[in-house]
Chain A
Amino acid sequence: MSKKTLSITIDGKPHAALSGQLVIDACQDAGSFVPFFCYHPRMTPVGMCRQCFVEIESPRGPMLVVSCMTPVVEGQVVRTTTDGVKRAQQGVLELLLANHPLDCPVCDKGGECPLQDQAFSNGPGESRFVEEKRHFEKPIPISNLVNLDRERCILCDRCTRFADEVAGDPLITFISRGTNTQVLTFPDQPFSSYFSGNTVQICPVGALTAQPYRFKARPWDLDQEESTCTTCSVGCRTVVQSSRDELVRYQGVDIDTVNWGWLCDRGRFNFEAVNSAERLTTPLVKGDSGLVESSWAVALDVAARMLRTAISVGPESVAIIGGSRGSNEDAFAWAMLADALNINQRDCQLADGLPAEIFALPQATIDDINRAPTIILLAPDLKEELPVLYLRVRHAAEKRTTRVIEFTAHRTGLTPYAWRSVQSEGGKLAAAVQQAGSSEEISEQLSRGDVVVIVGRTNLAESPEFVVNALAEVLHLAPHALVLPTLRRGNVRGAIAAGLTPQSDAGDTADILVAAAAGKIDCLILLGADPLADVPDADLARRGIAGARSIIAIDTFLTASSATADVVLPAAAYGEKIGTTTNLEGRLSTLAQKVTPAGTSRPDWMIAAELAIAVGKDLGISSYADIHRMLIDNVAAFAPARDDKRIRHEGVLMNHAHPVGLARSDSSVADHNSFKHRLIVSRKLYDGAQGTAKSPSLAPLANASGVFLHPLDRARIGVPSGVEVKVTSDRATLVLVMHESPDVMVGTAWIPFGQPGADVRELIDLQGDVCDVRIEHI
């Protein structure tokens, strides 16, 4: 939909501005520089800094206006360089600088500071302000990740506006009045927003600084390149910045299609894990005394021998788990190797993902969220799992362009913004959708145009079939609905499309582990996968890993699973290798290499190529260019990546297979008996994932241990909140601290995944449909 253009004049030159545009943006488009501090194109203009003055012609002569609050109108005449404009801008600048400290040499922002830049190019040169400057206590932490220096603050309202308007976490506000105004949190209530790092990025001065970047580098020492965040599957566009061959910072890049410049804190700060001293730097081979350091030649030779031995028993005795943490090229190289050896048992998901049939449905894009009048959520809490997707949905709901219908077992980050929030425990999701569909207002809403269904694993303690069935019900109610699958790991879609998904009816990860436990797997390849930590069924994972006769692990860290391997091959991490990746909507975009891989670690694709040679199946890959070309030439889904320019910025959508439908099936599950609670397991943003656990700034934030019960259930059990209880399933008994929470449904017990302390995975049996637990006091 193209917007109407308006003819205006900027600095004497005709310019075609877009209808609805602000003068400040039109000036930028026209190449006329207008300085500003408070304006941000992704937030409501407030006109507070008063720096962006321009002159417009009015019936009463030229008029000074702030260009961030003035919409373009047909025939408008704008001047940005008149004496009046310059005088006003310089006057405001002098006032901004009056109380601003002269500590640029020790300020993280120095060198990339809009205020500093303006002061140099347009400033008074010398201060006439001889009075005492405003003083505040120098930087105070406002959260674990962000420091605030109120002396540097120019009160532009960007951070506070972001917190309120974009993140929905108004935990920082203006306090006091006039010259005493300052940005502050409420006493003892830190700015614990998942999006706090964005405030640092958009601060136009050095008032907000990020603890993980503090004093790490000067902007002029930084080397940077655009890339895509793969922490989750949203695929936010970033710049990766390094100094002296070390990653020091990620910044969000504004692309319309995905992240609008925002990042979540987990994605922004987990570069620390790449720099971790615990990274694997050299191959390890199991000897009599456990894993010992080895050379690539020896390690590849050992691995190749194990693989050949297993293949000689039969390709069905080999399996590959993982591959969703690397690039499309990594996945494709391993898929080529698997093809060459006829290995059909391969799965990039860890029994916590979605069945492949969902990806064969008509797919939505992230941007469809802003177009569709209706969004249906059959998904985990987006704020916890896919934070920037949460921002997009929240934005659409707040702008009232979209109505959100949510089905969830517990209150989520989007519940306050949902038009209708239907509480439903997972096993009854399809029935809940059916029932909602029988309501007139919902069916009327569904008929209002496009419907986007966001689908994901709402509960890791139950079978994914319930979500699939609920989705089938939605598609029955709204056959035109488009599907947006949510996935935990960065490149699941790319890995599936590249072929790391069960072939010819072979088993998935759960089946592979069952087979391994039964002694049917001779060689298990763990491709950046840690089943012992990630597969929701801890017992199955343990038995599977123990039952595999040999294990080859390709990993960046020695994880619980890779520590049991016979050969561990160190892999290059994010930022250490180039490639392309695929986000949850199927958008292909680039990954940048910014630093040298740790130690002797290598990209996954290279390891596949070398292992292939070692087993006598040369794949013909001798460079990244080779594997990239093979990928786009041989896999239709990736063909659009030929558009080299677009994948380097806003990305390009992969080719989707021809859509197939989803059959409805009855899947209701029996009620649990009244002495039990249905177990709900979902993720928090911060958990035991390697990227978080190995990032010192983030690791302490994984602190949501415990079992959460509705107040009525707590009262029935008769134990006060904050006391340890026994949680017993058919599998195991765990001791967890119980918390009362009205956000949880009556009759359910919610336990966050991957938190410190007792591991909820011990309770879960993947063979069962649902998991019920008994809760008793000790």
Chain B
Amino acid sequence: MSRLNNANLTLAREIMARFPRPKSAMIPLLHLAQEQDGHVSNEAMIHIGELLGVTAAEVYGTASFYEMFKFEPIGKYCINICTNISCHLVGSWNLLHHAEDRLGIKAGGTTDDGMFTLEDVECIAACTEAPALQVNYRYRYKVTPANFDQLLDDLRSGRTAAEIPPFGTLSRVRQHTESTWSNNGIEAQAAIDER
């Protein structure tokens, strides 16, 4: 619902400085907006467009290509159950149906209390630990209906809060190094643009 706040604006400028061309910071900045608001708001896309020198339509065009970006608020915890082939073979549909029953929503839906969004997703790269899921992109392996229920309890009670931040936050560690050297590359690129 808002533009990037001042702290995030500072971060955004740091991120942009790490790329030879500002537009390359598009996806990182969208993540920043999603971290701030839990979803990517129209105002944030307009703001990002201003920062990167592109139209809001171009920001929206890029953002909507990637399924991790949500344009409306979703649950505090986004539970992504993998149903791709390795998980499919060993019970992911059973797990998904169980999750749907337990949460009272269909895949793609959000619980009324705003706690959970459930998604049926493609391979999350945990194939040998199938069936697998992610909560806000943190893994749970070899999930049975029973330990799914336990997971819901843990999430509700806050026992997992240290490990699983609210939806929107990915890496809690940021690259804090400035480009020390490759700005030479930026200059070289500018010279090429000039030609």
Q: How far is the CB of B105 from chain A (nearest CB, A)?
A: 21
Count how many chain B residues have C-beta atoms less than 8 Å from C-beta atoms of the other chain.
16
A177: contacting residue among B57, B59, B65, CB under 8 A: B65
Task: Summarize B's interface: helix, strand, loop or mixed.
Answer: helix
Number of A-B contacts (CB under 8 A): 41
The 8 A CB mask of A172-204 against B (1 = contact, 0 = none) is: 111111000000111111000000000000000
- Please tell me if the beta carbons of B195 and A171 are within 8 angstroms of each other in the complex: no
- Please tell me if the beta carbons of A186 and B195 are within 8 angstroms of each other in the complex: no
- Please tell me if the beta carbons of A187 and B42 are within 8 angstroms of each other in the complex: yes
Q: Is A170 an interface residue (CB 8 A)?
A: yes
> What CA separation (Å) do A189 and B60 show in the bound complex?
12
Given A186-B45, A187-B42, CB of A173 within 8 Å of CB of B58: yes
Chain B residues closer than 8 Å to A184, beta-carbon distance: 57, 60
The 8 A CB mask of B21-58 against A (1 = contact, 0 = none) is: 00000000000000000000010011000000011111
B195: contacting residue among A174, A187, A188, A400, CB under 8 A: A400
Of B42, B56, B61, most buried by chain A (CB within 10 Å of CB) is B61
The 8 A CB mask of A153-184 against B (1 = contact, 0 = none) is: 00000000000000001111111110000001
A170: contacting residue among B57, B66, B67, B195, CB under 8 A: B57
B57: contacting residue among A176, A189, A400, CB under 8 A: A189
> What CA separation (Å) do A187 and B43 show in the bound complex?
10
Chain B residues closer than 8 Å to A188, beta-carbon distance: 42
- Please tell me if the beta carbons of A173 and B195 are within 8 angstroms of each other in the complex: no
B61: contacting residue among A169, A174, A187, A189, CB under 8 A: A174
The 8 A CB mask of B174-195 against A (1 = contact, 0 = none) is: 0000000000000000000001
- Please tell me if the beta carbons of B57 and A173 are within 8 angstroms of each other in the complex: yes
> What CA separation (Å) do A172 and B60 show in the bound complex?
10
The 8 A CB mask of B142-182 against A (1 = contact, 0 = none) is: 00000000000000000000000000000000000000000
A175: contacting residue among B54, B55, B60, B195, CB under 8 A: B60
Chain A residues closer than 8 Å to B54, beta-carbon distance: 170
Within 8 A of B (CB), among A89-145: none
Q: Is B94 an interface residue (CB 8 A)?
A: no
> What CA separation (Å) do A185 and B59 show in the bound complex?
11
> What CA separation (Å) do A186 and B71 show in the bound complex?
12
Chain B residues closer than 8 Å to A174, beta-carbon distance: 61, 65
> What CA separation (Å) do A13 and B134 show in the bound complex?
61
Of chain A, the residue at the smallest CB distance from B49 is A186
- Please tell me if the beta carbons of B58 and A170 are within 8 angstroms of each other in the complex: yes
Given A186-B45, A187-B42, A400-B195, CB of A172 within 8 Å of CB of B57: yes
Q: Is B5 an interface residue (CB 8 A)?
A: no
Count how many chain A residues have C-beta atoms less than 8 Å from C-beta atoms of the other chain.
16
Chain A residues closer than 8 Å to B61, beta-carbon distance: 173-175
- Please tell me if the beta carbons of B65 and A189 are within 8 angstroms of each other in the complex: no
Q: How far is the CB of B101 from chain A (nearest CB, A)?
A: 27
Q: How far is the CB of A413 from chain B (nearest CB, A)?
A: 15
Chain B residues closer than 8 Å to A186, beta-carbon distance: 42, 45-46, 55-57, 59-60
Of chain B, the residue at the smallest CB distance from A176 is B64
Chain A residues closer than 8 Å to B65, beta-carbon distance: 174, 176-177
Q: How far is the CB of B134 from chain A (nearest CB, A)?
A: 20
Chain A residues closer than 8 Å to B67, beta-carbon distance: 177
- Please tell me if the beta carbons of B56 and A189 are within 8 angstroms of each other in the complex: yes
Of B46, B57, B195, most buried by chain A (CB within 10 Å of CB) is B57
Chain B residues closer than 8 Å to A170, beta-carbon distance: 54-55, 57-58
Q: How far is the CB of B17 from chain A (nearest CB, A)?
A: 22
Chain A residues closer than 8 Å to B66, beta-carbon distance: 177
Chain A residues closer than 8 Å to B60, beta-carbon distance: 173, 175, 184, 186-187
Chain A residues closer than 8 Å to B42, beta-carbon distance: 186-188
The 8 A CB mask of B71-84 against A (1 = contact, 0 = none) is: 00000000000000
- Please tell me if the beta carbons of B55 and A171 are within 8 angstroms of each other in the complex: yes
Chain B residues closer than 8 Å to A169, beta-carbon distance: 55
Of chain B, the residue at the smallest CB distance from A174 is B61
Given A186-B45, A187-B42, A400-B195, CB of A175 within 8 Å of CB of B64: yes
Of chain B, the residue at the smallest CB distance from A185 is B57
**Can you list 23 residue pairs at the A/B interface with Cβ under 8 Å?**
A169-B55, A170-B54, A170-B57, A170-B58, A171-B55, A171-B57, A173-B57, A173-B60, A173-B61, A175-B60, A175-B61, A176-B64, A177-B65, A177-B66, A184-B57, A184-B60, A185-B57, A186-B45, A186-B46, A186-B55, A186-B56, A189-B55, A189-B57
Top 10 nearest A-B pairs (CB, nearest first) are A173-B61, A186-B56, A186-B57, A175-B64, A173-B57, A176-B64, A177-B65, A171-B57, A186-B60, A170-B55
Q: A187-B60, A188-B42 are in contact. List 8 more A-B contacts (CB 8 A).
A: A173-B58, A175-B64, A176-B64, A177-B67, A184-B60, A186-B56, A186-B59, A186-B60
